[in-house]
């Protein structure tokens, strides 16, 4: 027997959570053919001596819907071991939508998810109207990794209702049309249906995104379509409540919807500093729903959700008039001006003003400098700006300016905006009804660097803290997520399974420092973050990355949802 690929001499961590063992892994026709001692020849060999061989990681929460058109590799996720992603979360998709109306769905995506409108205009060849046609377009694209997609409520509403989608609840006729398109999307392979009721999801003109204008009854009817068809997952970016009764009502609605439809319901969950026990009520909801006969799981992150601040990208002061003038200048000129004592005084003073503006999504926040950290290594521990300022006897904003000047403007700060407490983060990771996912990859491209959540789990929680075994962590990233999203032949190293594999050094694997890149269509800017420690990433049997570099192979596939596979 001749193999297409053999990964030799590695230590297999197979994704099941069972203990590691030494074996070669042989691949034929894109699938794992043999696990054992392989003596036969192979077209290609990866020497994995001293390395771990694991299933490729699966990320169930991304926004790569636009990016897939200009970046087939799925960066930065692919650099962190991810071989399959689910797009279309939080109600945001590019379909259904006719080309002529594309400004409507772009409006939903642009601000809420921080994907540059000009990048979308320049980078997307809009060939579809329906969701089924969109899936065919993604299917036809060259892809480095595997992609699956939900149908998003905001797109569905604007498709059916046009401008009215941003203003009112749907009529009976609107709903009938939405249900019809959702049925067709599921039949074509949509993973399910997503929506947002989150106050942090706004359009560039500060109106709610379209899905937020839906009544709960509209949501219920649409999830009910999945119940009738017995297929699909419902993902929701949830509401926020000022009072316990409102929160309880929302939880009961979610629980009842899970029970009445029989479909899995999922949402992101973070602990929050301003309300440090709220997340526990959501964990209790998971158990309550299960006890009532419904399916529900939460999506969690492996660390604090962190906004990245820098003079090269965004600072929390950018909108203040005196800052605005400065920040419009080229970076070298900003540096020169920042040495002017009079201007510095005005900048520091302006930055002290109270922040009246509510930040949207992952936009930077002003103030609270004990929660802004100097990021001088990928992993930390990081010192706070407040602490550094106190040591230097200067205002925190002045300390940020000085730190930037001392490093030729090459400095990053991180500002945790959720999951600040790492004990909470670990409890969320270890809860049996959570999935470690939620990179939001493809979104917030100039704001955060959460595409490294997988390598953070391995570097921080496994290696530095020893809070998880490598076997547990790999299982969370591969088999558990494959199970949640129904990828029946992925997420394990098993004979017959798709050969999505990562080969990495457990002693060095981890995220690198972020960098600023201008590699989006039309030159738009984003933060990129690479990883260290990976020797190879294999997708459907082909080596896509070797030592972090693209081999040129594009073996990724569209993964269609359950109805298209049946």
Q: Applying CB under 5 A, which residues contact Zn ion?
A: 89-90
Q: CB 440 → Zn ion: shortest distance, Å?
A: 5
Question: Can you give the C-alpha Rg of the chain in angstroms?
Answer: 24
Nearer to Zn ion, 219 or 470 (CB): 219
What lies within 8 Å, CB to CB, of 491 at 6+ separation is: 15, 55, 58, 478, 479, 480, 481, 482, 483, 497
Nearer to Zn ion, 89 or 447 (CB): 89
Which DSSP string corresponds to 197-249? --TT-B-TTSPBPGGGGS-HHHHHHHHHHHHHHT--EEEEE----SSHHHHHH
Maximal CA-CA distance, the chain: 76
- What 3-state DSSP class applies to 74? coil
Q: CB 92 → Zn ion: shortest distance, Å?
A: 7
Q: CB 255 → Zn ion: shortest distance, Å?
A: 22
The rounded distance, in Å, linking the Cα atoms of 335 and 343 is 12
**Long-range pairs for 176-180: beta carbons < 8 A, 24 or more residues apart:** 178/218, 178/222, 179/221, 179/222, 179/225
Q: CB 237 → Zn ion: shortest distance, Å?
A: 6
Nearer to Zn ion, 90 or 453 (CB): 90
Q: CB 132 → Zn ion: shortest distance, Å?
A: 23
Q: Residue 474's CB: how many other CB atoms inside 10 A?
A: 31
∠ CA(234), CA(165), CA(218), 5° rounding? 40
Q: CB 90 → Zn ion: shortest distance, Å?
A: 4
- What 3-state DSSP class applies to 290? helix
The rounded distance, in Å, linking the Cα atoms of 482 and 400 is 43
Nearer to Zn ion, 12 or 90 (CB): 90
Nearer to Zn ion, 194 or 313 (CB): 194
Q: CB 112 → Zn ion: shortest distance, Å?
A: 9
Residue sitting closest to Zn ion (CB): 90
Alpha helices for 262-374 (secondary structure H) = 278-292, 321-327, 331-337, 341-352
Tokens of 142: 């060259």
The rounded distance, in Å, linking the Cα atoms of 164 and 437 is 34
DSSP 99: G
Nearer to Zn ion, 90 or 247 (CB): 90
Q: Residue 345's CB: how many other CB atoms inside 10 A?
A: 12
CB-count burial class (<10 Å; 0-12, 13-18, 19+) for 19:
exposed
Nearer to Zn ion, 94 or 401 (CB): 94
Q: Which H or E run includes 426?
A: helix 422-430
CB-count burial class (<10 Å; 0-12, 13-18, 19+) for 192:
buried
Nearer to Zn ion, 235 or 395 (CB): 235
Q: CB 434 → Zn ion: shortest distance, Å?
A: 16
Note whether 441 and 451 are within 8 A (CB).
Answer: yes
Tokens of 476: 């969370």
Q: CB 109 → Zn ion: shortest distance, Å?
A: 11
Nearer to Zn ion, 89 or 437 (CB): 89
Q: CB 265 → Zn ion: shortest distance, Å?
A: 15
Nearer to Zn ion, 123 or 361 (CB): 361
């Amino acid at each position: 027997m001749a193999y297409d690929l053999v990964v030799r001499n590695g230590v297999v961590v197979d994704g099941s959570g069972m203990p590691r063992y030494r074996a070669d892994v042989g691949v034929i026709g894109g699938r794992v053919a043999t696990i054992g001692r392989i003596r036969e020849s192979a077209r290609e060999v990866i020497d994995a001596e001293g390395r771990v061989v694991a299933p490729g990681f699966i990320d169930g929460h991304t926004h790569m819907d636009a990016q897939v058109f200009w970046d087939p590799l799925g960066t930065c996720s692919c650099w962190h071991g991810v071989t399959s992603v689910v797009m279309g979360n939080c109600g945001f998709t590019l379909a259904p939508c006719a080309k002529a109306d594309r400004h409507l769905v772009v409006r939903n995506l642009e601000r809420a998810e921080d994907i540059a409108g000009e990048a979308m205009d320049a980078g997307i060849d809009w060939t579809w109207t329906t969701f089924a046609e969109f899936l065919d377009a993604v299917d036809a694209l060259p892809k480095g990794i595997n992609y699956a997609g939900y149908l998003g409520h905001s797109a569905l509403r604007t498709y059916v209702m046009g401008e009215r989608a941003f203003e009112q609840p749907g009529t009976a006729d609107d709903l009938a049309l939405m249900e019809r398109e959702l049925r067709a999307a599921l039949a074509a392979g949509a993973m399910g249906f997503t929506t947002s009721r989150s106050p942090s999801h706004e359009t560039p003109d500060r109106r709610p995104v379209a899905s937020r204008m839906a009544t709960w009854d509209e949501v219920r009817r649409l999830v009910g379509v999945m119940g009738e068809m017995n297929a699909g997952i419902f993902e929701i970016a949830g509401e926020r409540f000022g009072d316990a009764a409102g929160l309880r009502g929302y939880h009961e609605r979610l629980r009842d919807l899970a029970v009445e439809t029989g479909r899995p319901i999922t949402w992101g969950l973070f602990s929050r500093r301003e309300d440090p026990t709220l997340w526990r009520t959501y964990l209790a909801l998971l158990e309550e729903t299960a006890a009532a006969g419904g399916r529900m799981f939460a999506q969690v992150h492996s660390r604090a959700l962190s906004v990245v601040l820098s003079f090269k990208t965004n600072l929390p002061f950018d909108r203040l008039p005196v800052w605005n003038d400065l920040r419009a200048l080229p970076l070298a000129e900003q540096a020169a001006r920042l040495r002017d004592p009079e201007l510095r005084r005005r900048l520091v003073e302006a930055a002290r003003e109270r922040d009246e503006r509510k930040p949207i999504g992952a936009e930077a926040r002003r103030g609270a400098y004990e929660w802004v950290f100097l990021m001088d290594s990928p992993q930390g521990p990081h010192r706070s700006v407040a602490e550094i300022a106190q040591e230097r006897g200067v205002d925190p904003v002045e300390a940020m300016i000085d730190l930037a000047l001392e490093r030729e403007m090459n400095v990053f700060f991180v500002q945790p905006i959720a999951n600040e407490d790492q004990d909470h983060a670990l409890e969320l990771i270890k809860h049996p009804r959570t999935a470690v996912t939620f990179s939001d990859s493809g979104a917030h491209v100039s704001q955060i660097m959460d595409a490294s959540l997988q390598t953070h789990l391995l570097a921080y929680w496994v290696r530095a803290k020893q809070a998880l075994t490598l076997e547990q962590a790999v299982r969370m990233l591969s088999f558990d997520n494959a199970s949640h999203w129904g990828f029946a032949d992925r997420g394990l190293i098993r004979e017959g399974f798709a050969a999505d594999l990562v080969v990495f050094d457990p002693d060095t694997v981890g995220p690198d420092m972020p960098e600023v890149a201008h590699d989006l269509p039309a030159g738009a800017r984003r933060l990129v973050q690479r990883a260290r420690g990976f020797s190879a990433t294999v997708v459907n049997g082909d080596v896509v990355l070797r030592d972090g570099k693209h081999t040129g192979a594009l073996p990724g596939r569209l993964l269609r949802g359950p109805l298209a596979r049946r």
